[in-house]
């Protein structure tokens, strides 16, 4: 049955726990399949703010796929998508020269720098793309990987888009030999993802979107137990799945880089800051400084999105100051390399 338009804030259990619903478009780009890897055929829709979409952008840039896969970037502040028809608010497109916009209650003024409009479909909202693809779930999330040939969403699950970008477009990639999922490390990568996803990547959302003290208490305990586990692992090896950079690092990093600026305040994850973990701190700097990453991170969009998009959580859309950008400083992680 088709569900009505909603957002992640509506995905809670009777106990007040945040229960993320699975993505629904799950086709794969594969040689010889309906969706062939072709240069110029696919388009990626992202928000710089969204950690899931940001993974895809980072890997697109790291692999050097900018000339083969198109890109659109939404405004960080959610807007009403069907004003007067339903109360849904979500991702919207603006030209960078468009005057600043307010949150849905009319508070604040947020410019459109860094946005890229939808040159493929001329959509005004991410919701439009889902409706063009006969969506029935009613949740209009990013990332979206779009097929220009069949005019539909191929996939909206970041973990799968990441794997496609890593291996399916090597014919067109500037860095075809960069492999973030080497066969020899696959079991380890999957094992790390298995605890990082529920307790860290989604763990921060389970803290922030909890609607009961009990649900929050469980989530925050699991989150900090996993951060301690990361700190321990990273005291012994350079990257989270071993001695080389993998997909597991990109996935973990996207939560860590948002932590001190957003989650500590907004999602109440204030037991300890990331910059206070000696090894994780250096690790975050290291990943931020790998080629292709820094230009994929837009802290202004990140902060603007969270603090201005959910009036229930931050009515007046005031954005806290935050710290200096410590992740741009030199790191010590090369100490793990054998000389």
Ligand X SMILES: N[C@@H](CCC(=O)N[C@@H](CS)C(=O)NCC(=O)O)C(=O)O
Q: Is 207 in the site for ligand X (CB under 6 A)?
A: no
Is residue 155 a contact point for ligand X (CB under 6 A)?
no
Please select the residue that binds ligand X; options are 158, 199, 304, 314, rule is CB under 6 A: 158
Tell whether residue 157 is among the known ligand binding residues: yes
The two beta strands, 79-80 and 42-46, are unpaired
Question: Per DSSP, what are the bridge partners of residue 116?
Answer: 73
C-beta of 26 vs 151, nearer to ligand X:
26
- CB of 307: closest distance to ligand X in angstroms? 14
- The whole-angstrom separation of Cα 134 and Cα 131 is 5
Residue 266 annotated among the catalytic residues of the structure: no
User: Closest CB to ligand X among 21 and 290?
Assistant: 21
Asked if residue 208 binds ligand X (CB under 6 A), the reply is: no
Residue of 27, 68, 81, 141 interacting with ligand X (CB under 6 A): 141
Helix (H, G, I), strand (E, B) or coil at 51: helix
What is d(CA 338, CA 336) in angstroms, rounded to the nearest whole number? 6
Q: Which of 25, 45, 52, 267 binds ligand X (CB under 6 A)?
A: 52
Near ligand X by CB under 6 A: residue from 90, 138, 203, 292:
90
Is position 141 annotated in a ligand binding site? Answer: yes
Element containing residue 308 per DSSP (H, E): helix 299-309
Q: From CA 109, how far away is CA 96, in angstroms rounded?
A: 14
Residue 138 interacts with ligand X (CB under 6 A): yes or no:
no
Q: 48, 50, 277, 307: which one is catalytic?
A: 50
Q: 312: exposed, middle or buried (C-beta count within 10 Å: 0-12, 13-18, 19+)?
A: exposed
* Contact criterion met (CB below 8 Å) for 112 and 101: yes
d(CA 105, CA 107): 6
Neighbour-count burial for 68-80, b at 16+ CB within 10 Å, e otherwise: bbbbbbbbbbbbe
Which of 42, 205, 263, 306 is labelled catalytic?
A: 205
Stretch binding ligand X (CB under 6 A), from 59-67, 157-165, 253-261, 286-294: 157-165
- Contact window for ligand X (CB under 6 A) among 97-105, 128-136, 137-145, 269-277: 137-145
- Catalytic site residue 50? yes
- Residue 122's Cβ-count burial label (10 Å; 0-12, 13-18, 19+) is exposed
Which of 17, 157, 247, 261 contacts ligand X by CB under 6 A? Answer: 157
Residue 338 beta carbon to ligand X: minimum distance, rounded to whole angstroms: 36
Residue 323 among known ligand-binding residues: no
Residue 24 binds ligand X (CB under 6 A): no
| Residues 6 or more apart whose Cβ sits within 8 Å of residue 327 | 257, 284, 285, 288
**Active-site residue numbers?**
50, 205
Chain positions contacting ligand X, by CB under 6 A: 7-8, 23, 50, 52, 90, 139-143, 156-159
Binding residues: 91, 139-142, 157-158
Binding residues for glutathione: 91, 139-142, 157-158
């Amino acid at each position: 049955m088709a569900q009505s338009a909603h957002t992640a804030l509506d995905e809670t259990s009777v106990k007040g726990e945040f229960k993320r619903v699975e993505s629904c478009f799950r086709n794969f780009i594969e040689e010889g399949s309906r969706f062939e890897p072709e240069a110029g055929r696919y388009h990626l829709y992202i928000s710089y703010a969204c950690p899931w979409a940001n993974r895809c952008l980072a890997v697109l840039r790291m692999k050097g796929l900018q000339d083969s896969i198109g890109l659109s970037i939404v405004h960080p502040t959610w807007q009403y998508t069907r004003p007067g028809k339903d109360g849904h608010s979500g991702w919207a497109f603006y030209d960078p020269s468009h005057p600043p916009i307010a949150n849905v209650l009319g508070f604040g003024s947020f410019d459109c720098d860094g946005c890229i409009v939808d040159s493929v479909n001329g959509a005004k909202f991410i919701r439009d793309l889902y409706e063009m693809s006969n969506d029935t779930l009613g949740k209009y999330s990013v990332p979206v990987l779009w097929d220009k040939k069949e005019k539909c969403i191929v996939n909206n699950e970041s973990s799968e888009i990441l794997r496609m970008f890593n291996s399916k477009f090597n014919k067109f990639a500037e860095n075809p030999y960069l492999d973030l999922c080497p066969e020899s490390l696959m079991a380890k990568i999957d094992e790390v993802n298995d605890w990082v996803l529920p307790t860290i990547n989604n763990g921060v959302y389970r803290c922030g979107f909890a609607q009961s003290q009990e649900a929050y208490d469980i989530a925050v305990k699991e989150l900090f137990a996993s951060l301690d586990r990361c700190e321990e692992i990273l005291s012994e090896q350079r990257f989270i799945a071993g001695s080389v950079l993998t997909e597991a690092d990109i996935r973990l990093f996207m939560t860590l880089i948002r932590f001190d600026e957003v989650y500590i305040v907004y999602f109440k994850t204030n037991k300890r800051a990331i910059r206070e973990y000696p090894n994780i701190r250096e690790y975050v700097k290291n990943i931020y400084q790998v080629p292709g990453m820094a230009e994929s991170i837009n802290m202004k969009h990140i902060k603007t999105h969270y603090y201005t998009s959910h009036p229930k959580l931050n009515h007046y859309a005031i954005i806290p100051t935050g710290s200096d950008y410590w992740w741009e400083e030199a790191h010590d992680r090369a100490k793990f390399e054998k000389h």
